[in-house]
Structure 1
Amino acid sequence: MLLQKDQNPALNTVTAYGDGFLEINRVRYDSAICFAPEGPIRGLAVRAAAELDAALLQDLVGLKPAARDPLAFLDDAEPALERPADAPEVLLIGTGPRQIFLRPDVLRPLLSLGIGVETMTTQAAARTYNILMSEERRVLALLLPGDPS
């Protein structure tokens, strides 16, 4: 399905999708990808939503461990994370042809820092990404193409 006729070549735009593939700026991808409106398109070695974990999502968003008190381990608290200034407002996760919700422990670190996370079908995530990107929102998309069968 063709999504966008006109596009700004400076921005990453979902131009098409189909069974088992995604197209960003008219370049076809057959595996999971992560991208923002600007910057590189990052290929991921993830084949299913069940493989997504908190560490991967934190890495994609750019979260770093915050400076800690060296005695903080005495409080038995989880390591604190620092939200970078350019962190996305929302992370859209396209889980393939079916919507699959991620476990709360996977989402909790992002949500605690005010980063919204939405899981939906890849088709819905692609359309939502294009809308948010056109509104100049800070959005990050992680899209799984799904099984072509």
Structure 2
Amino acid sequence: MKFQPDRSSAQTIHGYGPGWIGVDGTKYTQSLIVGANGLLEMWNCARFEDLTAQHFEHLATLEAEVIIFGSGARNRFPPAAWLRPLAARQLGLETMDTAAACRTYNILSGEGRNVVAALILEP
């Protein structure tokens, strides 16, 4: 699917499809973390099953108002114990499939929210 974004100063996900996510004109083929404030880093997990508590500890260190977790092709929830670092910092985590996470990220970032999306891009 291809997006046509409204004018926004935030980093935008311009499209996604099987095996790729497009961010501000660049196509990525691995899991990544995207932030409205310009954050863009590769996320070391190719599948939901690769996740560990450390992945969510890292998310808790990011300066964000809300974190969107794209769990891959279908919606899957991480174990509650892994979310403790986020709760300790009073960070909200919304879990959805990666396609929905891309769309939700664009809406929130377009509203000027300080949002981060952690997106699993399954091979």
Q: State the TM-score, normalizing by the size of structure 1.
A: 0.75
Deviation at 1:26, TM superposition (A): 1.7
Deviation at 1:117, TM superposition (A): 0.7
Q: Which runs of 5+ in 1 are unaligned?
A: 64-86
Q: Which residue of 2 aligns with 1:28?
A: 27
**Amino acid in structure 2 at the alignment position of 1:29:** Y
Which stretch shifts more, 97-106 or 40-49?
40-49
Q: Deviations over 1:89-115 (max 9, x none)?
A: 211111111111100011122023210
Distance 2:69 2:51 in 1: 10
Which SS does the other structure have where 2:44 is aligned? coil
- The 8 Å contact of residues 46 and 120 in structure 2, kept in 1 or not, is answered as yes
Q: Distance in 1 between matches of 2:115 and 2:105?
A: 7
Which residue in the other structure is 2:96 paired with? Answer: 120
Whether 1:100 and 2:66 are equivalent positions in the alignment is: no
Figure out how many residues of one structure are paired with residues of the other and give that number: 123
Aligned position for 1:74: none
The one-letter code matched in structure 2 to 1:3 is F
How far has the Cα of 1:6 moved from its partner? 4.2
In structure 2, distance between residues paired with 1:90 and 1:60: 10
Counterpart of 2:14 in structure 1 is: 15
Counterpart-to-counterpart distance in 2, 1:130 and 1:24:
11
For normalisation by structure 2, the TM-score amounts to 0.89
| Number of the residue aligned with 1:75 | none
Q: Higher relative CO (CA 8 A, sep ≥ 6), structure 1 or 2?
A: 2
**Which stretch shifts more, 104-113 or 114-123?**
104-113
- Deviation string 1:25-61 (CA, Å, 9 cap, x unpaired) is 1210000000211224101221112322332222234
Secondary structure at the counterpart of residue 33 of structure 2? strand
Map 1:1-149 to 2 at 5 A: 1-8=1-8, 10-62=9-61, 87-147=63-123
1:5, 1:113 → 2: CA distance?
31
User: What residue ranges of structure 2 are gaps of 5+ in the alignment?
Assistant: none
Matched position secondary structure for 1:17: strand
CA RMSD of aligned residues (A): 1.7
Separation of aligned partners in 2, 1:6 and 1:90? 21
Shift of 1:7: 4.2
